[in-house]
Structure 1
Amino acid sequence: MTLLADRPRVTRHPLRPELRRGFAPLAGGAVLLTLLVALAVPAETWQGGWAETRDRTHTAAVLLGFPLAVAAGCWQGGRERRRRTGELLETAVRGPLPRFLASALPVALWVAAGHLAAAALALLATWYCATGDSPYVLVPLADTLVLGCAALAGQVGGRVLPWRLTAPLLATAAYVLLGTLSYDSRSTLAPLSPLLDTAAHQVPVWWQPMVTVAWVGGLTTAAVLALTARRRATALVPLTAATAAAVLLVHTGDDGLVRTNPIALRQVCDTSTTPQICVNARYEKLLPQVTEALSGLTGRLEGVRNVPVRFVDVPGRTGEDEVRLPMITPLGRSVAGGELTDPQRYAWEAGMMLVGRSWCDRTDPATSRVDDAVEHYLAPKPMRDDFDELDPEIDAKKRARARLLAMADEDRRTWLSEYFLTADVCDPKAVPEL
């Protein structure tokens, strides 16, 4: 008995029981499961592209994770009222702030951990089939902190309004507010939303995630201190920081919070083909697949003059002697999981970029037959897109195709050189006959 009495007592941290069991782990699991379901359903639209992965996880975190975190914190905050232990806890040695943190921090930490795990799994899902670029880790890290703040803010709401319906009502209000701020381009308050709308070729300015965390975190800290601090005036310090961050975000505006990613303006080219094939550096690893898919087309253009110098894949207008590559983005159409989904269709679309006269008001039947013959020679239309039998001009078009195929190689190269000299001309008299 003496030995047992002399054994030192183990002092356990008050957060430990809440972290290991109870509602907090369930809240983290709910966030993780919700985000994984939201990411898994349209996985082909982001998997393989780092920017697409960043944007998809960011949108899911803010629009789904944020309201869920608010609801989880709010439910935890109303626990004392539901258990009718509020008066008993008022007699505890600890003050209001330590008691608040002992209840709120486990939920906030588990919510943050749930989001961090979901973001890490999304990055791993892209890592093995990434097509270029590099991961963007600052955005998910900032989102993790924002979701933790949302759980703390929800706890404040649950303490102030300890009703059972407060949690779903606050979550709904958070979702509506975020959606309104994020997608109402006319609102000057739109930059205050934690959801930043970026295109795949854009990145947030380097300070935007940190200032957003300061805005949300300062507002949350001010609310916590206003509720629990012995000196309520201390809440003015984080409130001032939040106000400064908000002013900076609003003053900068949506357009100033994003910039074009420098890598999106750079191209990686295969110069061994005619035309050369250049893909956006964000999809550098796709270049061998694209080159292979277009090998039949570029092989038939070898030795032909007046063709564009290169296929390009950059935002904005193409330069002279350039033609746009068929769209790689959005992912899930031409590319999914780091692979071309249909090389034959991709080659046909590339051929259409060289041949089509869609800008002309009208083209006569003879010109249409010539364009069709060149299109068919360079890259035939995929079978599932081939509705030739419905075309009343199909017999004449097939004869034009046969005449082009029957030419000697040198004669065909000469004729194609004349044809591409008029590829951007709408006057039917300028197009060589076939």
Structure 2
Amino acid sequence: MSLVTDRRTLVARAPHPLRAEALRGFPPFAGAAVLLTLGVLLAGSAARWQGGWAETATQTHTTVLIAAPLAAAAGCWQGGRERRRRTEELWGTAVRGRLARFLASALPVALWTAVGYLAAAGLAMLATWPYAQGDRPHPELLPGDTVAVAAAALLGHVVGRAVPTRLAAPLLAIAGYVGLGVPSMSHSGSARHLNPAFPVLAPDAPVWWQPVSMAVWTAGLAFAAVLAYAARRRVTALLPLAAAVAAGAVLTQTGDGLWHEAPLARRQVCDTSTTPAVCVNARYAGMLPQVVDALSGITGKLKGVRNLPVRWEERDHESHDAEAQLPNLMPLGWSVVRGRLTDPREFAWEATAALERRPDCLHSTERMRRADDAVEAYLAPSPVQERFDEIDARGDAAHRADLRKRLAARAELAGMGAEERRDWLSAYFATAGTCDVKGVPAL
């Protein structure tokens, strides 16, 4: 009775092989390698995504291009473990079946690499949260991306078991990077939507079932390969293969219909306390006070001036007569970094140029160019304009003469009385958006 009890106790205390594999050895290091690699890549490009939820989602999705080949290489290295240890024959005498032995070795790597990817994505979201100016987190792509990384590890494990060389892991990583990277550069063809690293542009969002279909596509291929290699009845591989084919057909047939613009990206939030009013995209509504403050020097000088646009708008279309195009806040990393305007003075100067709304006039005159320059210098003096002045000051006689005329025009506009200047600016903005040479008031 005691011997039976001791045996039961030993069996109860024996750890499950999958647990032992998951907690010791190579798999945790594989997950740490994925996390560290993606962390370095994301940190290096933080200025382009930190502060925008949609940008953060697309940037972490882009890292699948690195995470999946790295996971495949990790799985491949794990798959060749018994060959390197020369314990293949001993491992083959285990009581458990071939598929169970395969999964006990392969699943921990797939799990840890997926956890590494998820941890990197979670840290990126945490890094964005203090600087986010609107919108909400976008985790829609994470399920499909995570499954794709885990599937790559399983496929890599199959390759590691089947290919008897230590070079299989690095070669597989290179092949995976090329295999995912080259199709991602294609802008045509429905097959590109089968690529788990297919680039997504902010603020595009997937339809709700796209991540599910992508997960079925990648996991189906991985499990089909696993069953074809390790299952006792290899015909069972047809079931996940059929699921993968069905999911792939849905992805390719839907094509560009898999993506839609986020509803918030079509909305504007405005501050109507100024003239012109200031409107920004609702995805970064929190930046509106900064933008209004950057333009306050312009709007303060335009009080009482007529013929102005009704508002500045941050839109990706040609401005109408009643609006002027606000300088681009996006993409992140240029005008905006971590929720702050990088150069408010230059932003204001670009906004002044947008108020002029000059088309490409074939016959622009010196009077028109001088008036535009004087208005920009009065409303929003800019370091860019100062650099042009310095260049002309060091130029030939013609450039120096032109600079003197521009400076004189700026001084004349700045020296006008308040009422006279308002009338002059009203006449000036009445010609905005046209090439009416005669209507431009002289200086």
> Conserved in 2, the CA contact under 8 Å of 1:221 and 1:238?
yes
Match of 2:417 in 1: 408
Match of 1:266 in 2: 267
Which of 417, 423, 428 is equivalent to 2:437?
428
> Conserved in 1, the CA contact under 8 Å of 2:367 and 2:440?
no
CA-based RMSD of the aligned residues comes to: 1.8
- 1:275-308 CA-to-partner distances (Å, cap 9, x unmatched) read 1000000110000000101000111112111111
1:104 aligns with 2:111: no
Match of 1:72 in 2: 74
> Conserved in 1, the CA contact under 8 Å of 2:192 and 2:198?
no
Match of 1:318 in 2: 319
Which of 208, 217, 220 is equivalent to 1:218?
220
Tell me how far 1:6 sits from its aligned partner.
9.1
Q: Secondary structure at the match of 1:211?
A: helix
Alignment of 1:14-53 (within 5 A): 14-53=17-56
Match of 1:361 in 2: 362
Tell me how far 1:197 sits from its aligned partner.
2.2
Give, in whole Å, the separation in 1 of the partners of 2:232 and 2:178.
34
Q: Which moved more, 1:417-426 or 1:63-72?
A: 417-426
> Conserved in 1, the CA contact under 8 Å of 2:110 and 2:154?
yes
Q: Secondary structure at the match of 1:311?
A: strand
Give, in whole Å, the separation in 1 of the partners of 2:47 and 2:315.
22
Does the C-alpha gap of structure 1 residues 424 and 220 become closer, same or farther in structure 2, counting only changes over 3 Å? Answer: same
Tell me how far 1:120 sits from its aligned partner.
0.6
Q: Which moved more, 1:200-209 or 1:375-384?
A: 375-384
- Name the aligned partner's letter for residue 416 of structure 1: L
Give, in whole Å, the separation in 1 of the partners of 2:214 and 2:175.
20
Tell me how far 1:128 sits from its aligned partner.
0.7
> Conserved in 2, the CA contact under 8 Å of 1:27 and 1:72?
yes
Does the C-alpha gap of structure 1 residues 234 and 87 become closer, same or farther in structure 2, counting only changes over 3 Å? Answer: same
Does the C-alpha gap of structure 1 residues 169 and 27 become closer, same or farther in structure 2, counting only changes over 3 Å? Answer: same
> Conserved in 2, the CA contact under 8 Å of 1:264 and 1:314?
no
- Name the aligned partner's letter for residue 277 of structure 1: V
Give, in whole Å, the separation in 2 of the partners of 1:101 and 1:85.
17
Q: Secondary structure at the match of 2:260?
A: strand
> Conserved in 2, the CA contact under 8 Å of 1:70 and 1:150?
yes
Tell me how far 1:251 sits from its aligned partner.
1.2
Which of 397, 408, 414 is equivalent to 1:399?
408
Give, in whole Å, the separation in 2 of the partners of 1:386 and 1:165.
56
Match of 2:395 in 1: none
1:337 aligns with 2:346: no
Give, in whole Å, the separation in 2 of the partners of 1:5 and 1:160.
41
Give, in whole Å, the separation in 1 of the partners of 2:164 and 2:257.
40
Alignment of 1:238-277 (within 5 A): 238-253=240-255, 255-277=256-278
> Conserved in 1, the CA contact under 8 Å of 2:359 and 2:434?
no
1:378 aligns with 2:387: no
Give, in whole Å, the separation in 2 of the partners of 1:178 and 1:147.
12
Q: Secondary structure at the match of 2:141?
A: helix
Give, in whole Å, the separation in 2 of the partners of 1:378 and 1:138.
44
> Conserved in 2, the CA contact under 8 Å of 1:31 and 1:115?
yes
Q: Secondary structure at the match of 2:54?
A: helix
Tell me how far 1:5 sits from its aligned partner.
5.3
Q: Secondary structure at the match of 1:17?
A: helix
Give, in whole Å, the separation in 2 of the partners of 1:302 and 1:92.
86
Match of 1:176 in 2: 178
Tell me how far 1:102 sits from its aligned partner.
0.6
- Name the aligned partner's letter for residue 423 of structure 2: T
Q: Which moved more, 1:298-307 or 1:213-222?
A: 298-307
Instruction: Give the 4+ runs in structure 1 shifted more than 4 A.
Output: 2-7
> Conserved in 2, the CA contact under 8 Å of 1:348 and 1:382?
no
Give, in whole Å, the separation in 2 of the partners of 1:272 and 1:411.
25
- Name the aligned partner's letter for residue 194 of structure 2: L
Q: Report how many residues are paired.
A: 431
- 1:300-334 CA-to-partner distances (Å, cap 9, x unmatched) read 11211111111111233333311111111111111
Q: Which moved more, 1:304-313 or 1:186-195?
A: 186-195
1:228 aligns with 2:230: yes
Q: Which moved more, 1:191-200 or 1:280-289?
A: 191-200
Give, in whole Å, the separation in 1 of the partners of 2:389 and 2:364.
19
Does the C-alpha gap of structure 1 residues 206 and 314 become closer, same or farther in structure 2, counting only changes over 3 Å? Answer: farther
- Name the aligned partner's letter for residue 111 of structure 2: L
Q: Secondary structure at the match of 1:145?
A: helix
> Conserved in 1, the CA contact under 8 Å of 2:352 and 2:376?
yes
Match of 1:11 in 2: 14
Tell me how far 1:103 sits from its aligned partner.
0.2
Give, in whole Å, the separation in 2 of the partners of 1:24 and 1:330.
38
- Name the aligned partner's letter for residue 402 of structure 1: A
Tell me how far 1:188 sits from its aligned partner.
3.6
**Structure 1 unaligned spans of 5+:** none
With normalisation by structure 2, the TM-score equals: 0.94
- Name the aligned partner's letter for residue 58 of structure 1: H
Q: Which moved more, 1:323-332 or 1:7-16?
A: 7-16
Does the C-alpha gap of structure 1 residues 209 and 385 become closer, same or farther in structure 2, counting only changes over 3 Å? Answer: farther
> Conserved in 1, the CA contact under 8 Å of 2:365 and 2:437?
yes
Which of 208, 211, 222 is equivalent to 1:209?
211
